[in-house]
A and B are shown apart, each in its own frame.
Chain A
Amino acid sequence: MTDIPEDGKEQSEFDEVLNREEALNPQNLEKDSVPDAASSEVETTLEGKWQLEFNGHGVELFGILLKNFLLNVSTLGIYYPWAKARQLRYYYGASRIIDSDFQFHGTGIEMLIGLGKAVIVLVFLDLAYEGVLSVILNEWLLPLTGLLYFLIFFLLIMVASVGARRYRMSRTSWRGIRFRFLGTFKETVILVSRGWLLSLLSLGFYYPFYLSRFQDYWTTRTTFGNIQFSYDGNEKEVFSIWLKGILLTILTLGIYLFWLKANLQRYFWDHTAYGEARINSTLYGGKWLKESLILFLFVILTLGIGRAWAVVRYKKYYLGTLSLEGKIDLSQIKQSEAEMAGATGEGMADFFDVEM
């Protein structure tokens, strides 16, 4: 398994601090005794193939969505962050692998603060553009400010993407161990701007290379505990999937797009690993299209009332296409120092509809 190199020293320091704190914590004196993991026999190595499952129920989710809706309306939207936190807690809690479910630890109050900060930034930028720049600048300079506006918009989307992922990962746990996203805003901006620019200059032919590099970055900067996920996809293979997909999409007047997206996602998942365990995906275009259509039509035909059941069905399908196979040495996985990212990026992601 690959330890995070730059954090190796920090990790051992963190463990030492934990041990010291535990020994000094007066609350622990009240506790009788908790045997150390090493002192009693515990499961340490898991080997096999495990399916990711979604165990949500339409009725339960309906109750949550209804309560969220009523409280959102009655508080004129102020309840939104709490509603989102509750919904995410449900989705994560219902997702399970190796007999253990995921947990989402984010709270409404931190999401409210994040949303507030995002609103302040966006209002300030809008006022600066609408109220100041467009008034004081001559008409011929306005296109330039438009370009500036676009650049700022692009940067904000990057802030939203990186910030939201950092926040989500730092608040997600499995068996008490947190995930983390180590990607930075600067690296992401460089990667994305270069990718889009080269894609534009190469008339789109660079795009699959960019996709592969982005996937590599996004995956390898994600950790569970002290161990990073790895990605071993090949840019040329991504290019051939993409080229075939684009040609067939043109020939089928766009219908093949679902298969193209499914093939790319399957490829990315199949080339993602955690230690000695590899992710397998069975996501195929036809079935994915069918499930997406069912989700869409069910929501439309029931005027939104059936959304809970449709979402549960879709999530059962989508998560059911993923599995983990190989060996996991649990004793090697250690809690990493949590970098409790703020929720500003999450708040901005709401504005720009950035899907996590």
Chain B
Amino acid sequence: MSKTWRGLYFDGRTPTHRDVTVSSDTRGVRIKFEDGSGCFWHRVDFRVQQGLQQGPVHLEYGEFPSETLVVDDPEFGRNFGKNLTSRNRFFTPLLALFTVIIFPALIYWGIPSASGLFARFVPLSIEKKIGQYVIDEIFPNRVICETAAGRQALEKLLVRLAPADSDYEFQLEII
């Protein structure tokens, strides 16, 4: 004989409750009222509404205004979880795995690789415009070294730094 629990039944129309005896199996929950009548809630027809992990278990049956069954005994929650849990038992370990391994990997390798791939399709003219926009935004009132000697030294440095066969146009400025 399966174990039973004491619970409270609310009909969803008034806040009055009725004391019930509850038992559960893999198909659903059987509710027995004090006058001997009862009903059976199939698993697919109700939802578990639980705020506290160690608190009462609320089961809601049907659409608004739904009937509610409240069982205070935390053991019902555990037994109920064993019998009727709909969430895949691999969900939590997978979530932990995702958070610890896959997420950092995504940040360090996934996103840079994806942006590298995406950047190949961006036209050079757009890249130039974006670069110029960023410079103007960061240094809107920049004073650039414009003396002939200074420019000559910078160009020398630029030749050494920038690759000769690059499609990009490099500029070196001292601000």
> Which residues of A come within 8 Å of B, CB atoms?
15, 18, 27, 30-35, 37, 39-40, 42-44, 55-57, 60, 63, 70-71, 73-74, 89-94, 100-101, 103-105, 174-178, 225, 330-331, 333-335, 338, 340
Contact = CB atoms under 8 A, between A and B. Distances in A.
A56 B14 contact: no
Interface residues of B, number: 40
A32 B54 contact: no
Given A94-B52, A103-B58, A176 B34 contact: no
B52 A56 contact: yes
A176 B37 contact: no
B10 A92 contact: no
A63 B52 CA distance: 12
Given A35-B37, A101-B56, 18 more contacts: A27-B45, A30-B40, A31-B39, A33-B39, A34-B67, A37-B11, A42-B16, A42-B18, A71-B95, A89-B49, A91-B51, A175-B15, A176-B12, A176-B66, A177-B12, A330-B16, A333-B15, A338-B64
Contact of A35 (B12, B35, B45, B95): B35
Nearest to B64: A338
A25 B71 CA distance: 26
Contacts of B16: 37, 42-44, 175, 330-331
Contact of B34 (A40, A70, A175, A331): A40
8 contacts: A31-B40, A74-B103, A90-B51, A91-B51, A175-B10, A176-B11, A176-B15, A177-B12
A89 to B, nearest CB: 5
Nearest to B49: A103
A121 B16 CA distance: 43
Contacts of B50: 89, 93
B104 to A, nearest CB: 10
Contacts of B41: 31
A130 to B, nearest CB: 15
Contact of A94 (B51, B66, B67): B51
Contacts of B65: 18, 176, 178, 335, 338
A174 B15 contact: yes
A63 to B, nearest CB: 8
Contact of A331 (B14, B37, B58): B14
A92 B58 CA distance: 13
B43 to A, nearest CB: 13
A106 to B, nearest CB: 11
Contacts of A92: 51
A105 B166 CA distance: 59
A104 B103 contact: no
Nearest to B69: A176
A175 B66 CA distance: 11
Contact of A34 (B11, B14, B53, B99): B11
B98 interface: yes
B39 A103 contact: no
A104 B51 contact: yes
Nearest to A328: B15
Contacts of B131: none
Contacts of A331: 14, 16
Nearest to B37: A33
A350 B27 CA distance: 41
A292 B142 CA distance: 48
Contacts of A43: 16-17
Nearest to B100: A70
B35 A40 contact: yes
A108 to B, nearest CB: 14
Interface in B23-59: 33-35, 37-42, 45, 49-56, 58
A30 B40 CA distance: 8
B92 to A, nearest CB: 9
B38 A176 contact: no
A27 B63 CA distance: 12
Interface centre among A93, A94, A334 (most CB of B within 10 A): A93
A176 B10 contact: yes
B51 A89 contact: yes
B33 A40 contact: yes
A115 to B, nearest CB: 22
A60 B54 contact: yes
A94 to B, nearest CB: 5
B52 A90 contact: yes
Interface centre among A18, A30, A175, A330 (most CB of B within 10 A): A175
Contacts of A31: 39-41
A177 B15 contact: yes
A154 B53 CA distance: 40
B3 interface: no
